[in-house]
Structure 1
Amino acid sequence: MKKYFWILIVLILLVPNMAHAAPIENKVKVAFYRDGFVWLKMNGKETRITKEPSEHSYQPQWSHDGKWILYQIEPRKKPNSNADSHSEIWIYNVDTKKHIRITNDGTNPKWSPVENIVAFKNGWVLNVSNLEHFYNIALGVGDYNWYPDGRSFITASSASLRPDGWTNPILFKIGLEKDLAKMTSFTKNVKQLFTIPNELKKGNVNMVASHPWDFHFSSDGYWVSFIVSPPTASWAMDSNMVCVIGADGQNFAVLDETINEGNSPKWAYSQNLLGYIAGGGRIVLGFKNKDMKITEMPVFKSTTLTPAHFAEMGFTWKDDNSLYVSRVKETDWSNEAKKRPDPSLFMIKIKEQTQSQITHPPKDFGDYQPQFIPEANKLTWLRKRDIADFHKQDLWISDSNGQNEKLWIKNIQTYDFFAEKK
């Protein structure tokens, strides 16, 4: 009898420890694209959730509660030979495994930050869907984002060229009725926030202001960062301006020049610190003039964190005092992939003024796009052979100090994480 008693005690002690021993990354859900399909990784298991391959212009997105995945597809098979390409927006319920098509022709979809409502555009029309019906909200909308309360949007109209020169881009705030069915006017809930000068200047760089986009709110909701691009795509490859403004339309400022390489400015978690990679000139002109900077609001004090003779390829915040960067030594561009520099990840501690290399990829591989998951205290990044290779890349994960690194998801394209708040 005593023998069975002690066996029972051991089992009681072991079971909680065994549960606790499950890898922390298993508590993080990942939605991602691979080979034209949408995939889900959850509880350590990968599952393909779409049946037909397609093209994807926007990364998958988790709803605020982690119950839905939003994804966009451009079917490879057209309904008929005369049909134009179109972009369908779908959502997938993780529990019921049910797919719902929000629209058969939409772009730039974004979940509300507080409820299961999806905004998207069709042409220049902003729409909102409650997952059952969608409603037209406003006309003439460029890029946009939700305000943190989920009751309104910040958006912009782009500049246009007239015989007397370029008009000004304008920022707007668009409110929502509590009952979406009562949205009967396209202009009633629209408020003009700010008219952007038609020419922006920083240092010796001048730029015609045309397209405001990539809006992000600070943690307290008071500040908004965004990028203003020039009129042509070629010009925008070399020069854009990082800007900030108060969410009420006050205190507009141009911070720095940047390029459009998928590295959005990012706010710190709880302080009004904006991080961004400053410097003009597309990458094919050389791995140089790409500096990690932070700017503190409302004093607009900027600090450069990149040491001389290095360039940054991407970054993410760890906490309010530290960041991770994907860094290379400054060098010229080469048309031969093997002669291009391969980045490693470095941790920067701002107050301590220390910087240390924390990943050491194997020869001919580089570590790109660091992304920290604070809920799991884990660092992730893409490891691949070349900066231009978007289809042969793997997602890696490690402890916050770069230790215990391992391959997490093989052959991944764009992706999004969801982790429960601590």
Structure 2
Amino acid sequence: MALPAVLGITSSSDSAVASPQTATSGTDTQQVGKTARDRPRHRKTRTGCFNCKRRRIKCKEERPACRNCVKSGYTCEYPAQTRLYISHNFLLYAVLGFAAADLEANGGTNSSLSVPAMTYRCKAIHLFRKAIASFQEPEMTTKATVPTESKHPKPRKSAKIAGDPKPQTDSQHYGQSIMSFDQGSALVASCYLLMGQSQYLGDGIQDFMTLTRGSASLRAEMIRLGFPPLFQNLEPKDSIETMRKHLKKIPPLDKPWIDSGETSLEMLKFICADGLQLAYLANLENVLLYCKTDTFKVYTSVMGHFIWWQSLPFQEFQRIIDMTDQVNILLATHWVALMMAMSFLRKASMKINEESKKKPEMQEKGRGGASSQAKEKGMCTEPWYYWLACMNRWIKDDYRKFNTWPQWVQDRLDENAMYFYS
């Protein structure tokens, strides 16, 4: 027997029909529950002053004292610096990417580190660009996708770290640098790590040149802001004079491959399209020319070429690193082949670095590592070798006659990694 619906009480069979009082009460309960759920709860606070962290309340982070401390009469104190894993995580990813690439390239492990190395690299580049954008312009909404490792990368028009600018929005600090010393140091360190990893990537020459140019701009910005120079121990003081002292002991080179290189550069003149490519070619010709007369001038010519492309206007720099142009690839293969053949420069640089270290005994422990094992197997572990091998594959059949000398350099290195050291 069904009970009558009195004062909003219904039977189980009539539960689908609610009385007005019950419906109103349920709506109010849902409203209160929804409001409670929407209210942000701050059981902990990871940023802010010490008092708000201790009290586990949200800190508005006003300066010099937050509102909570002012109301409570506490002395407001903030941490001295932001934690590394919060604001400088691009540096962490850059370290992991470089370490994985170095282990794989030097023969210490198999190719299982290829994908992690590139994944960490993409994360570091994405966060690096985000940090740079926050200093002088509004944040760019870019996404870093996990790449699929390819043994035969295709030529690209520009570097992977460069992106199209997004529409700008209002920013409180637009046009003003808000870089701190810690942030600038982390950015410069990340630049060097990404540059180091670029040397192990077959298609990394564009990224290397872009990062080299960017690191110079970052260092100049830090100097403008009055920060002390970073990484003073990377190169000894008066490095040019130190290099002169070491190179004056080396006589001019008299090798048959120098004449072959000059002939190959002469052939490139017929296919250079504009003055920019001819200027690139002239720098390489100067390096080969001084090989027969003065080894120290070879060093200054090499450094002059670096300074030349770093100081190019942005549009011209983008044209130089456009690897969809076969002439640009040929110029790059000749430059890299020339650097691989100039073994005396690397030997002098390594000797200077060893002499500048305060504790040379610490270096003895690492001489039996992955790099030495790779050399014992006859593998070329010079970083730029990967660029040469990759770009030689990019040359099309119609242009291979202009690339005979760089291909010859690669063949000699494949046969004997120490060929140009003799």
Q: Give the TM-score normalised by structure 1.
A: 0.24
Task: Name the one with the larger strand percent.
Answer: 1
Of structures 1 and 2, the one with the larger relative CO (CA 8 A, separation 6+) is 2
Give the TM-score normalised by the residue count of structure 2.
Answer: 0.24
